[in-house]
Amino acid sequence: MIAVSTEKPANARSMTVEHTRQIVRAYHAAYCGKDVRAAAAMLGDPFRFSSPMMTFDKPEQHVAALNRFVPFISNCDVISELHGEGEATLIYDLRVSLPPATQRCAEHFRVRDDQIREILIIVDATPWHPIIEAAATIRGPLEVASHSAKRSETHK
């Protein structure tokens, strides 16, 4: 289970629904448009990213993963958007040039002080396991959550 904090720091600026929507849409457009620099500019510090395949605690780690992944994106078809004050959830079909070709994604964002502070992606990771393992063999570990992290620790 992933713990998600609902507390706001005392100095946090209140995020309206519309402002949250603008930030999340801009990030998603940059991500789907392969503009890693624009997507990176929207990430705050502290930052946390979590998916079934990997987890990051620094924006630089997420940007490195984006640089490796976005070349394979061919299209994103948004199915639904839900926005609140400082949080948003997008449901979309991600089309990529790798198997599985189309991946249904649910992506939850937490936004504070005009920056994305947390991204949680819910996706069926099964089709990605062979690709991640092959990439880890070629480039070294991709900071894959749970199974790869545990394997690398036991082989030290």
What's the CATH code of the domain at 131?
A: 3.10.450.50
- Domain for residue 127, yes or no? yes
pLDDT per residue over 76-124, tens digit each? 999 999 999 999 999 999 999 888 889 999 999 999 999 999 999 999 9
Fill in the amino acid letter for 74. Answer: S
Question: Residue 94: how many CB atoms within 10 A of its CB?
Answer: 22
- Domain for residue 134, yes or no? yes
Question: Residue 3: how many CB atoms within 10 A of its CB?
Answer: 4
pLDDT per residue over 38-55, tens digit each? 999 999 999 999 999 889
Task: Read off the pTM.
Answer: 0.78
The number of folded domains in the chain is 1
Half-sphere exposure of 7 (CA within 13 A, CB side): 3
- Domain for residue 122, yes or no? yes
- Domain for residue 30, yes or no? yes
- Domain for residue 5, yes or no? no
Question: In terms of Cα–Cα distance, which of 63, 58, 70, 121 is closest to 92?
Answer: 121
- Torsion on CA atoms 99, 95, 64, 43, rounded to nearest 10: -150
Structural domain containing residue 131: 17-154
What is residue 90's three-state secondary structure?
strand
